[in-house]
C-alpha cells in the first residue's frame, strides 16, 4: 500500500519518561508524517550503579545487589554472578545443587516471559493479556516463594551450591502449576496469539533479518526469532543443562509476532525441563563439601539435615579470593547475560562488569525504530521485551 | 590429536605478530597497542567473530592508564560461539583516545558509549558519542574512575 507522507516542519516528539508507551525511557523521535526518521534514546532513569557499588562491597554483599536490576529474573542474575565467583575461588558444585539451580532458573524464565507478554499486551491495548500475564505468573512466583523464601529477589544461589532444598510440597505445587499453565497457554493462544488485531499489530512490524540481528548484537528470544540458533544453554551448558533434553525454538520471520511465538514455545520447553528435573533429580548434598564442613555440628543437625536449609558458614563473611578474572554467561529470560569479574586479591572485586540482555537491546531498538510508523514504536518496544532497570543497571 | 579451535585462532594471530594467549578451552585474549586495534579487529572478524559482547574499561590510577577490553564471540558459527575472546589494550590518562570499532562491529555501539561517559575514553569515529546513563546535570570526575568516591551516609549511634 502506498502511503502519502505529509512532510511536517520540526516534527519532534518527546515520549516519556513515565509515559505508558515508553516505560522508564525517554524516546525522542523525529517524525516525517508518521514515519519515524530517527530516534534518540535517553535510557538512564532508573540507574542503580551496580558496577560502581560492586567495587565497594564484599563478594557476598553483592549477591542481593546484582539481582536488583531485573527483579523478575533474579535467579539468572544471581546465578551468573555466583558462577563467576565460583570460577575465581575454584569450587565445584554438587550434582543436586546444579539440578536445583536449573529448576529455579526455569521457573523464573516462565515467570519472566509471562510478565513480558503481559506488558506487550497492555502496550498494544489488550488488557486481558496484561491481567492474565500477571495472574498466571503468580503461580510460579509462589513456587519460588516456597522454595527460596522470597517472592522476587530470591538470593537463592550461593557460591558452592544453593540455600534450600526441594520439599515434596514444592514438587506437588510445580506439577499443579505445569498442568494449569499448559491449559492456560491454550487459552492464551485463542485470545491473544490468534487474535486478528494482535496479528495486525505485530506481523511485519519491526522486522529484523538474520544479518541485522547478528550485526546489532541482539540477544535471547529476539535473536532466535530472527533465525539464529544460539542459546547459551546449548552452546556452553551450565547448571544441569547438559543432562537435560530440550529444544530451542527458532523462527525465520524476525518480526514482532515471531518474537512472541518464541516466548510461548520457550515456556513449553521450560515446563518440559521442569518435569525432567522432578523425575531425575539425584540425591546428595546441596552445598559443596568444602563449605559444608565448616558448619557447626548442632546447626548441621537441626538446619541442614533437618530442614534442608543452609546456615551460611563463616567463610562467606569476607573471603579474599586469589587474583584472577572470570567471564561467565547464562541464558537469562531475556537473553544472554555476561559477567566479567576481576579480582585483585582483596575482599572486594576490582571491577565488576555486568552486560544484561536489555542493555544490548538498546542498539537494536534504536535501529528498529528507524523507518517504522509512529504507532508501531510501542509494539516494537513491547515485542523486544525490554526491561528498563535491566538496561541501565 | 586434533588441535583445539582456540589454538588455531591464537596461532593465526601470532602469525600476524600479535601477542595472544589461551586461558582455557574457550577463553583467550590478545593484547595489542591501541594503534593496532583496528588491525586485530579486522583479523578477528575475518576469522568469524561477528559481534561484540561487552566493552569494559578498567582504571589503573597508579599507572595513570585505563585498560579497554572488548569481549567478542560468534553467533553464526556454533563451534566459534563456545569461545569468548578478549581484545585488550591500554590508553593513558593524558591521551585517552582510541579508534572506535563500531565500523567493524556495530554491536560495540552501546558499550563504547558507556565507557566514554563512565571513564572518559574518547572513541574516534563513534557515530553518537554522548551521555547515555548519567543525569544531564552530572558534574565531577568520571564515575567509574577509582578517584570517584561514593559518599556514604554514616550511621551514628549516640552512646552517651
Instruction: Indicate if the pLDDT at residue B156 is higher than 80.
Output: no
CB of A56 less than 8 A from some CB of B? yes
Spatial contact of A274 and A178, defined as CB atoms under 8 Å apart: yes
Contacts of A355 in chain B (CB under 8 A): 53-54, 111
Residues of A in contact with B52 (CB under 8 A): 217
The predicted pLDDT at position A178 comes to: 92
Supply the pLDDT for residue A317: 80
What is the fold of A11-391? Cytochrome-c3 Hydrogenase; chain B (1.10.645)
Each residue's pLDDT tens digit, A293-332: 888 888 878 777 777 788 888 788 888 888 888 899 898 8
Bridge partner residues of A330 (DSSP): A337
Residues of chain A found within 8 Å of residue B76, distances taken between Cβ atoms: 214, 228
pLDDT on residue A183: 92
Query: According to the model, what pLDDT value does residue A1 have?
Result: 59
Whole-number pLDDT of residue A176? 92
**HEC sequence for chain A:** CCCCCCCCCCCEEEECCCECCCECCEEEEEEECCEEEEEEEECCCCCCCHHHHHCCCCHHHHHHHHCCCCHHHHHHHHHHHHHHHHHHHCCCCCHHHHHHHHHHHHHHHHHHHHHHHHHHHHHCCCHHHHHHHHHHHHHHHHHHHHHHCCCCCCCCEECCEECECCCHHHHHHHHHHHHHHHHHHHHHHHHHHCCHHHHHHHCCCCCCCHHHHHHHCCCHHHHHCCCCCCCHHHHCCCCCHHHCCCCCCCCCCCCHHHHHHHHHHHHHHHHHHHHHHHHHCCCCCCECHHHHCCCCHHHHHHHHHHHCECCCCHHHCCCCCCCEEEEEEEEECCEEEEEEEEECCCCCCCEEEEECHHHHHHHHHHHHHCCCEHHHHHHHHHHCCCCHHHHHC
Cβ pair A214:B143 closer than 8 A = no
B78 close contact with A: CB closer than 8 A: yes
Domain residue ranges of chain A, discontinuous segments joined by +: 11-391
Q: What is the pLDDT of residue A392?
A: 79
- Low pLDDT (below 50) residues in chain A: none
With an 8 Å Cβ cutoff, is B107 touching chain A? yes
Residue B129's pLDDT is: 82
The reply to whether A47 touches chain B by the CB within 8 Å rule is: yes
ipTM of this complex: 0.86
Contacts across the A-B interface (CB distance below 8 Å): 84
pLDDT at B1 > cutoff 60: no
What is this structure's pTM?
0.88
- The pLDDT of residue A180 is 92
Q: Do residue A230 and residue B75 have CB atoms under 8 angstroms apart?
A: yes
- State the average pLDDT for chain A: 86
C-alpha distance from A354 to closest chain B C-alpha (Å): 9
**How far away is chain A from the Cα of B160, in angstroms, using its nearest Cα?**
30
Do B134 and B152 contact (CB within 8 A), yes or no? Answer: no
Q: Which domains does chain B have, with CATH numbers?
A: 1-124 (3.30.460.80)
Q: Are A217 and B51 in contact (CB under 8 A)?
A: yes
Amino acid at each position: 500500500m502506498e502511503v502519502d507522507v505529509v512532510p511536517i516542519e520540526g516534527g519532534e516528539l518527546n515520549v516519556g519518561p513515565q509515559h505508558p508507551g515508553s516505560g522508564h525511557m525517554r524516546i525522542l523521535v523525529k517524525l516525517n508524517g508518521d514515519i519515524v526518521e530517527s530516534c534518540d534514546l535517553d535510557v538512564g532513569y532508573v540507574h542503580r550503579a551496580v558496577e560502581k557499588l560492586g567495587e565497594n562491597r564484599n563478594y557476598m554483599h553483592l549477591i542481593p545487589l546484582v539481582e536488583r536490576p531485573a527483579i523478575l529474573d533474579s535467579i539468572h542474575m544471581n546465578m551468573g554472578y555466583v558462577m563467576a565467583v565460583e570460577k575465581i575461588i575454584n569450587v565445584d558444585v554438587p550434582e543436586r545443587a546444579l539440578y536445583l539451580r536449573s529448576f529455579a532458573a526455569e521457573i523464573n524464565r516462565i515467570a519472566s516471559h509471562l510478565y513480558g507478554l503481559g506488558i506487550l499486551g497492555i502496550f498494544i491495548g489488550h488488557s486481558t493479556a496484561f491481567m492474565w500475564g500477571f495472574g498466571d505468573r503468580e503461580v510460579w512466583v509462589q513456587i519460588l516463594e516456597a522454595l527460596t523464601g522470597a517472592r522476587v529477589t530470591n538470593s537463592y544461589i550461593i557460591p558452592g551450591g544453593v540455600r534450600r532444598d526441594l520439599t515434596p510440597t514444592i514438587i506437588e505445587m510445580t506439577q499443579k502449576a505445569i498442568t494449569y499453565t499448559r491449559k492456560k497457554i491454550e487459552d492464551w493462544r485463542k485470545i491473544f496469539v490468534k487474535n486478528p488485531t494482535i496479528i495486525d499489530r505485530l506481523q511485519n512490524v519491526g522486522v529484523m533479518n538474520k544479518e541485522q540481528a547478528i550485526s546489532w548484537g541482539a540477544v535471547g528470544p529476539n535473536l532466535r526469532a530472527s533465525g539464529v540458533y544460539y542459546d547459551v544453554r546449548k552452546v556452553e551448558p551450565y547448571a544441569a543443562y547438559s543432562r537435560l533434553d530440550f529444544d530451542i525454538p527458532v523462527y525465520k520471520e524476525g518480526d514482532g509476532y515471531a518474537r512472541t511465538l518464541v516466548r510461548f514455545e520457550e515456556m513449553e520447553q521450560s515446563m518440559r525441563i521442569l518435569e525432567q528435573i522432578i523425575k531425575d533429580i539425584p540425591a546428595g548434598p546441596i552445598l559443596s563439601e568444602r563449605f559444608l564442613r565448616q558448619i557447626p555440628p548442632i546447626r548441621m543437625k537441626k538446619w541442614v539435615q533437618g530442614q534442608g536449609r543452609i546456615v551460611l558458614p563463616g567463610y562467606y563473611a569476607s573471603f579474599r579470593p586469589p587474583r584472577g578474572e572470570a567471564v561467565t554467561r547464562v541464558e537469562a529470560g531475556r537473553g544472554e547475560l555476561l559477567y566479567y569479574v576481576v579480582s585483585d586479591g582483596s575482599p572486594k572485586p576490582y571491577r565488576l562488569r555486568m552486560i544484561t540482555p536489555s542493555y544490548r537491546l538498546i542498539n537494536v531498538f534504536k535501529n528498529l525504530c528507524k523507518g517504522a510508523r509512529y504507532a508501531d514504536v510501542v509494539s516494537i518496544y513491547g515485542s523486544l521485551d525490554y526491561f528498563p532497570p535491566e538496561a541501565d543497571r | 590429536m586434533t588441535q583445539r579451535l582456540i589454538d588455531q585462532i591464537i596461532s593465526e594471530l601470532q602469525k600476524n605478530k600479535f601477542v595472544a594467549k589461551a586461558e582455557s578451552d574457550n577463553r583467550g585474549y590478545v593484547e595489542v597497542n591501541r594503534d593496532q586495534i583496528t588491525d586485530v579487529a579486522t583479523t578477528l572478524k575475518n576469522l568469524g567473530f561477528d559481534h561484540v559482547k561487552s566493552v569494559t574499561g578498567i582504571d589503573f590510577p597508579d599507572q595513570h592508564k585505563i585498560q579497554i577490553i572488548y569481549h567478542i564471540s560468534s553467533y553464526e558459527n556454533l563451534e566459534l560461539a563456545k569461545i569468548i575472546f578478549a581484545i585488550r589494550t591500554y590508553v593513558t590518562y593524558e591521551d585517552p583516545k582510541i579508534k572506535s570499532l563500531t565500523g567493524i562491529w556495530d554491536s560495540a555501539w552501546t558499550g563504547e558509549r558507556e565507557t566514554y561517559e563512565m571513564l572518559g575514553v574518547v572513541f574516534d569515529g563513534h557515530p553518537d558519542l554522548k551521555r547515555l546513563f548519567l543525569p544531564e546535570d552530572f558534574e565531577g570526575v568520571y564515575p567509574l574512575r577509582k578517584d570517584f568516591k561514593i559518599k556514604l551516609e554514616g550511621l551514628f549511634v549516640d552512646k552517651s
